[in-house]
Amino acid sequence: MKKRGVFLIILLLISVIFINIIYAETTIKSYNYKDSNQNSLINAKLYIYGCTDSTCSSLTNYWFYKDSGSSSSIAVTGTPSNYNAEFHFINCYKSKEYLGFTNSYYNGDSIPITMSKQDPCSSSLLIPQITGTKQVNNQLTITINLGQVFSSSLTTLPNEVKSFYDANVDVKISIKDSNNIEVYTKTDSVTVPFGGKTHSFTWTPTTQGDYTIIITTNVKDCKCTQPQSDSSPASTSITITQPTQQCPTCLQPSAWSSCVNSQQNRTNYKCDSTTNYLCQSYLETQSCTEPPKGLCDANNECKKDKYTCTSGDVDCSCSQLKGFECKENQECNAQVLKHLSSDNYPICCSLECAAKQTNQTQPPQTQCTPGETQLCLPDENGCTQQKYCISNSTFSPCYQTNSSCKAPSTCIDLTPSGTCSQIFQGTLCLDGQLVTSALCSTNTTTTTTTTQQNRCFEFWYCASWSDCNDIGTHNCLKWEDINKCSTATSKPADEQQCSYTQPPVYSQYLQSQPFKGEGEGSKIFYVGNDGEGTSVQNLVNALIPRGFSLKLGLDNSFALLIIALFLGSITFYYLAKYKHPIKEIKQKIPIKKEEPLKSVKINDLMLNVIESLQGDEKRIAQKLIEGEGIKTSKLRDILGLNKNKMEIALSKLERRQIIKERTDDDSKLYFNDWLK
């Protein structure tokens, strides 16, 4: 009976080894990443390209890519080209390259890669180029060529790695006059790519003279040991001249005054083309013929039309009759006064003249009291109108109350004057300006779909808290917006109660962003037992010797079906041949069933959150990545923590909503859903 059991086990192992021999890939090289102080570095990225020669003058598409994630090492599998170019990158460290290596260098050894920062860092500058007319009040464009900060052994880089050679540089322009007084300065933050770039400033001089333009750079990239200022600024000189001046269009002369002593005058304007090219006023006179005198009799009545004259006046003019002269585009909607003019123009009106109307919205009305006035609807220009009751107890036609009223301007959103804006709810257009008005609804339905769709919902997460103080509060040392909106409208206050609970993450607040390595055209490599895959994949990898990997290429259900059929066939054969029940084996070897741990799919959000943890909380989170559902007591034994330290660490993880709340003292531990 023992021989039959041994036979069954050997048959199963032979089948697994046979599959492993067919599909296994050997780890041919491993890299370990450290800084200059020999501290391990994570999140390393490795690209390997095939070359056509030992100098890698021409690259083919990369045949290997790997992101170490939270690990400090990368294992290379597969068969490289005869020559290859290797690119190693870690954020805030200078890129490292190896070119022209042959297959003989791939012997499975573990190779240390030391990443370093650059010192000094600088961006070379050329003489600034100036375009535009070099005259007062004309805008000039000053363009400078910025050299690349981080170099490469190759003159042309693959598109996938170019961004690792970018540098953050502050570019400053300073313009000084002939007295060395700074008249203009500006600093721009610029990303300088591999190969360099050009950057431009604009400046509008307001005074003629000689100027010096100085441009300096300050490299502030984290791949440098510290911010580095360029010791060789670029400068050039420029002379600004006064443009040729021209006279503006001056105002039209005023009307001639009344004829007094056979003379009348008016104000006229002309340009001074010898000094300041400005319009200046001067008094202009001419001879005139005075109107006949003596039309007022001894009773101060106008002899011509019997209207009362004002004491001291003899010409019976419209002004002396206290009337209003109507212009060509005006009409009198009141009583017309007869005055001295030989013809009937200008008309002298007893009330202010009104703009000529082609259609009157207010028809004459009967039964009014003479002298009574009423308001009319505004005219076509939005000007106020009124009417008055004439002698036959009917209303006159409507006329403007202010003869100087003009058509108001349209508002900035093209809303006509006197109309509620459809874009800025609750506002009214008056004389070209939007003003708040209770007449306009604040709930006007407008098309705001685009604005709503483009809105970025902030989700603030505190990556690190200070210790609680005596009054039960603590401060957030590092806020992070999970959605990276670049705004801080909803950012919480730094100081919070120690019982503060991070807001839950809902799907509608998260921006849809693909994780790194999951986009179209990305390549995922499963290396040894470190690769991600299904639970069946992990189970098979656990049986494979380290240094090899087996990629099933099947989903869970199909793989389980094949394994079940294989084991079922062997069991059926065993029972049919020997007819021995396995009850005795179960009695001799009691099987203790344990629920398997649940594998965790790692994403960028989870990595960022776990990297922000410290101490026992980080150790617990890293163990949960290996498998959820582990009991508290078992995890405490694995980590070697006492009960109090374990309870403190788990409470902090619960408060930050990294793990789900426990139901008892020995609950199973799971990551919160938002983190996954």
Q: Coil, helix or strand for 340? A: coil
Task: Judge whether residue 458 has pLDDT over 80.
Answer: no
Q: What is the pTM of this model?
A: 0.38
Determine the Cα–Cα distance for residues 126 and 236; give it in Å rounded to an integer: 10
Task: Judge whether residue 311 has pLDDT over 60.
Answer: no
* pLDDT tens sequence across 326-364: 877 787 777 776 665 544 456 777 777 877 754 444 444
Q: Where are the domains of the chain?
A: 1-116+520-591, 129-240, 457-509, 597-676
CA-nearest of 355, 356, 352 to 324 is: 352
Q: What is the pLDDT of residue 7?
A: 59
Q: Does domain 1-116+520-591 have CATH number 2.160.20.10?
A: no
Q: What is the pLDDT of residue 140?
A: 94
Q: What is the length of the chain? A: 676
Minimum mean pLDDT among 142-146, 313-317, 525-529, 662-666: which range? Answer: 525-529
| 596 close to 585: Cβ distance less than 8 angstroms | no
Give mean pLDDT, residues 106-127.
85
436 or 516, greater pLDDT: 436
Q: What is the pLDDT of residue 511?
A: 35
DSSP 399: E
Q: What is the pLDDT of residue 602?
A: 78
CATH topology of domain 129-240: Immunoglobulin-like (2.60.40)
Assigned token pair, 649 = 């660490």
Minimum mean pLDDT among 224-228, 373-377, 497-501, 576-580: which range? Answer: 576-580
Chain mean pLDDT for the chain: 74
Please list, in sequence order, all residues whose beta carbon lies within 8 angstroms of the beta carbon of residue 191, skipping any fewer than 6 positions away.
166, 167, 168, 169
Assigned token pair, 572 = 């059926």
* pLDDT tens sequence across 207-257: 999 999 999 999 999 999 888 776 678 999 999 998 877 888 888 999 998
Q: What is the pLDDT of residue 405?
A: 72
Same fold, 1-116+520-591 and 129-240: yes
Q: What CATH number has the domain spanning 597-676?
A: 1.10.10.10
The CA-CA-CA angle for residues 37, 43, 47, to 5°, reads 105
C-alpha distance from residue 630 to each of 23, 70, 576, 602, 625 (Å): 32, 21, 40, 17, 11
